[in-house]
Amino acid sequence: MRFAVVGTPGDRRVSMFRDAVVARGLPEPHVIPWRDVLAGREIGAPEGALLRVDSPGEDAEADALLRGPGDPARVGGGAAWYKAFTAGLERVAVIPGVRLLGDVGEIGVMFDKRRCHAVLSAAGVPVPPAFEIGSYAELRAEMERRSWARVFVKPAHGSSASGVIALQTAGERVKAVTSAAWTDEGVLCNSLRVRTYTSHEDVRRVVDFLAGDGLHVERWFPKASAGDRVFDLRVVTVAGAPTHAVVRMSRTPMTNLHLGGARGDLELVRSRPALWERVLEVCTRVAGCFPRSLALGVDVMVGSDGRSVAVAEVNAFGDLLPGLPDISGNGRDTYAEQVHAILAGVR
């Protein structure tokens, strides 16, 4: 059995999947660089290989091919990125002689928050109510019409909380929490530091800039807390079943680990059997919405009431959880679990 990976050579995801494959006594996967796919260069893989599609990763050349030249840390360009990315997926889908481990159409849906939200909602998965807007003025008008004082504003195409804004209003006051910041050159870039804007003009400038690529707005779902931190979960499903989970805790509305979030104690949820079963059931239902995808990363919010749950995101490349054993106690990480499922004939 041979494997191939579309990814970025040297990327941690590719390396960890390679290690999982080699640990089972199999040849190293053949790596197809995303930059070759996006540039239209000749691509191929060993005949009969099982092909895994992974993230474009931290590759400046691939980023420039996806959304044009510029600082890879910049926010924006999501519409161009998505168009180039889905075109690349179409090229991958027709590589001769391989079998895909993930459906490229499903990956495309997961990278469009509006389409993904619609798929989940139609399947009865609990998600926050949402709407789409094209400007800050439209955002405030729709919030007022719906009597929503708190929302999350999300670029339609993006990941890692890039450009996401946690927005709260109270009368004439506004508070926007985001990792996006303007550089001295006037470029909106991602930062590892979450910051707060309280000026209408500052918030308007960011929202109107991002609106050109499409914005998905969700009603704020009040999260459960432990001490002075709110928390949610990243749950990985493999072959349709939840296999790994981590609690993410933060003093800000963004729980992403790269934005200062920290891993918490999973017993916060597992110690409540009814809640834990609800989380697992919801994640299984999410996996059922994407039956041709080997692995998913599902971001699950637990409500402040300690009982309700809602899905915030579904990540096609959300299995990077190093050092996290599976929740069944088998001791396999997310990549070893996927290789195990394939060799066991589950996939």
Q: Does 289 lie in the same domain as 335?
A: yes
pLDDT computed for residue 330 by the predictor: 87
- Mean pLDDT over all residues of the chain? 95
270-298 tens-digit pLDDT: 999 999 999 999 999 999 999 999 999 99
Last residue of a domain, one of 101, 118, 145: 101
pLDDT computed for residue 11 by the predictor: 93
What total number of domains does the chain contain? 3
Residue 321, domain CATH:
3.30.470.20
Q: Does 184 lie in the same domain as 240?
A: no
Q: Is residue 236 part of a domain?
A: yes
Q: Is residue 242 part of a domain?
A: yes
96-128 tens-digit pLDDT: 999 999 999 999 999 999 999 999 999 999 999
Q: Does 172 lie in the same domain as 235?
A: no
Q: Which domain does 27 fall in, by range?
A: 3-101
Q: Does 146 lie in the same domain as 189?
A: yes
Q: Does 168 lie in the same domain as 255?
A: no
User: Above pLDDT 70, what percent of the chain?
Assistant: 100
Tell me: pLDDT of 259 over 80.
no
Angle, in degrees to the nearest 10, between helices 136-146 and 200-211: 110
Element (H, E) at 52: strand 50-53
Q: Does 169 lie in the same domain as 254?
A: no
Work out the end-to-end distance of the chain between its first and last CA atoms, rounded to an integer number of angstroms. Answer: 14
Which of 45-49, 56-60, 80-84, 199-203 shows the lowest per-residue confidence on average (mean pLDDT)?
56-60
pTM: 0.95
pLDDT computed for residue 209 by the predictor: 96
Question: Cβ–Cβ contacts within 10 Å for residue 325, how many?
Answer: 16
Q: Does 20 lie in the same domain as 70?
A: yes
Q: Is residue 111 part of a domain?
A: no
Q: Does 229 lie in the same domain as 336?
A: yes
Q: Is residue 120 part of a domain?
A: no
Give the bridge partners for 263, in sequence order: 248
Q: Does 152 lie in the same domain as 73?
A: no
pLDDT computed for residue 155 by the predictor: 96
Closest CA to 227 of 271, 262, 178, 273: 262
Tell me: pLDDT of 26 over 80.
yes
Tell me: pLDDT of 193 over 70.
yes
Q: Does 227 lie in the same domain as 320?
A: yes
Cα separation of 284 and 154, whole Å? 25
Q: Is residue 115 part of a domain?
A: no
Classify strands 215-219 and 130-133 as parallel, antiparallel or unpaired: antiparallel
Cα separation of 123 and 307, whole Å? 20
pLDDT computed for residue 329 by the predictor: 86
pLDDT computed for residue 347 by the predictor: 56
At 160, is the pLDDT very low, low, confident or very high (cuts 50, 70, 90)? confident
Supply the DSSP string of 208-228, one letter for each residue. HHHHTT-EEEEE--PBPEETT
Q: Is residue 110 part of a domain?
A: no
Cα separation of 151 and 149, whole Å? 7
Q: Per the structure block, which two tokens stand in for 239?
A: 């072959």
Q: Are 44 and 6 in contact (CB under 8 A)?
A: no
What is the SS3 assignment for 189? strand
Cα separation of 267 and 245, whole Å? 11
Place of tokens 């001791």: 331
> Mean per-residue pLDDT for 178-189?
92
Q: Is residue 109 part of a domain?
A: no
> Mean per-residue pLDDT for 60-79?
93
Tell me: pLDDT of 310 over 70.
yes
pLDDT computed for residue 133 by the predictor: 95
Last residue of a domain, one of 180, 202, 219: 219
Cα separation of 220 and 222, whole Å? 6
Task: State phi, psi for 132 to the nearest 5 degrees.
Answer: -115, 145
Q: Is residue 36 part of a domain?
A: yes
Q: Does 8 lie in the same domain as 38?
A: yes
Q: Does 307 lie in the same domain as 286?
A: yes
